[in-house]
A and B are shown apart, each in its own frame.
Chain A
Amino acid sequence: VKPIDPVEDADGPLIALATAGDPRAFETLYRRYVGRIHGLCLRMTRLPDRAEDCTQQTFINAWRSLPGFQMRSSFGTWLHRIAVNVVLAQRPHHFDAVLNTDAPETDGVFDTPVEVNVIEAAVASLPDGARNVLVLSGIYGYSHQETATMLGIAEGTCKAQLHRARQLLRRKLGMEESR
């Protein structure tokens, strides 16, 4: 993995300042990345309130972990890893009872066209394992290896989950179109 050059990378100076303890620099980084982090958390948790809590915790954890950030990956990827850990760590305590529903409450969450909402709803209705892989790999473009590492699963499991997710999604969207 090619290290990120702190001079060439647009985030580098801000990261250096934030690492030195400057909250204003960190706020700039927060504003730059909050949409991506919240998008990931919302798709993984399916609950707007929980997604905001996870987003908040992600940035707090990132601030505390900044001195250990080696710039071996981009700052955005590093934040995504933290976000996935936060979501997975909170899930057993908070989500199970809420998420075992057939109708995830995604309508009205996104201020986007109907077509996008249909796909988002179909993604949200997938089982946790398949959905997480699909979100990281299909929407955020991470490789099988990166996705597997983030979720703490084997690469083979990741591929199988993605295949399963795509099949389920195809069925759900097919049913939607046939209505």
Chain B
Amino acid sequence: MTPHDADTRPPERVQRLDQLPQEIAPTRDLWPSIAEGISSGQARPTAGRLRLRRLRPSGWVPWAVAAGIPLLVVGAVSMWRTSDLGGIVARPDLQAATAGDPAFVRERETLAAALPSALAALPLQARIGATSSLSTVRIAQKRVLAALAKDNGNPALHEWLRDLQQQELRVMESIAGAGEQARML
């Protein structure tokens, strides 16, 4: 066979490349070394470094709609709370507040500070649901903010943003309450 023959032969084996296994397990468990690396490694950049300009304003609508899902998760998390905690109700004095209101900002900062310990106290499934819920609301907020940067006069967008800020507060209140309850158990 000449090299030319080899070039023109039916490339059965070459075409079987995509049938090669994509997964090849390492010979040892690498996690212990990775765990050591991430615990002793450098500090992470904070989420604040996320570049909002990379978010596409056109995508804000589905995210805003998706942000409604947290309410369902909030309901699920509320199952953790006893009746004396009273379920998920945002403080009345904050219901009409926005991120520009000092009382709202203080409440949000307090809840945000308590969030890691509250999450850590929850069982895994509740923690996954709660974090996912919070993540969805926050991403939706970024989408709406990006849309507002291009259309700041749009009252519907401002309304969406206020709703999302309230939702974020309610989710954090719910997580804080559930975390408190879990610690008591």
Interface residues in chain A, defined as those with a beta carbon under 8 Å from any beta carbon in chain B:
3, 5-7, 12-14, 16-17, 19-27, 30-31, 34-36, 38-39, 42, 48, 51-52, 55-56, 59-60, 63-68, 70-72, 110, 112, 116, 118-120, 122-123, 134, 138-141, 166-167, 169-171, 173-175, 177-178
Contacts and interface: CB of A to CB of B under 8 A. Distances in A.
Interface in B91-117: 116
B9 A170 contact: yes
Interface size for chain B: under 10, 10 to 19, 20 to 34, or 35 or more residues? 35 or more
Contact of A56 (B18, B27, B33, B42): B33
A51 B116 contact: no
Interface of B: 1, 3, 5-7, 9, 11, 13-14, 16-18, 20-28, 30-31, 33-35, 37-39, 41-42, 44-47, 49-51, 54-56, 59, 62-63, 66, 69, 116, 119, 124, 127-129, 131-132, 134-136, 139
23 contacts: A6-B136, A12-B135, A16-B134, A23-B39, A34-B30, A35-B23, A55-B26, A56-B34, A60-B34, A63-B34, A63-B41, A63-B44, A64-B38, A65-B45, A67-B46, A71-B139, A110-B24, A119-B16, A123-B20, A138-B18, A173-B14, A174-B1, A174-B7
Ranked 6 nearest A-B pairs via Cβ: A35-B23, A174-B6, A39-B24, A138-B17, A13-B128, A16-B135
Contact of B26 (A23, A24, A52, A140): A52
In this complex, the member of B24, B69, B128, B134 whose beta carbon has the largest number of chain A beta carbons within 10 angstroms is: B24
Given A63-B38, A68-B49, 6 more contacts: A13-B128, A17-B128, A38-B23, A56-B33, A67-B50, A178-B6
A173 B37 CA distance: 41
Nearest to B12: A173
Contacts of A169: 13-14, 17
Taking chain A's interface residues, is the majority helix, strand, or loop, or is none over half, making it mixed? helix
B43 to A, nearest CB: 9
Nearest to B54: A70
Main secondary structure of the interface of B (DSSP, over half): helix
Contact of B30 (A24, A55, A140, A174): A55
B147 to A, nearest CB: 14
A70 B30 contact: no
Contacts of B25: 34-35, 38
Contacts of B44: 21, 63-64, 66-67
Given A27-B31, A27-B35, A120-B20, A64 B128 contact: no
Nearest to B73: A7
Q: Point out which of A22, A51, A110, A116 has the most chain B C-beta atoms below 10 A from its C-beta.
A: A22
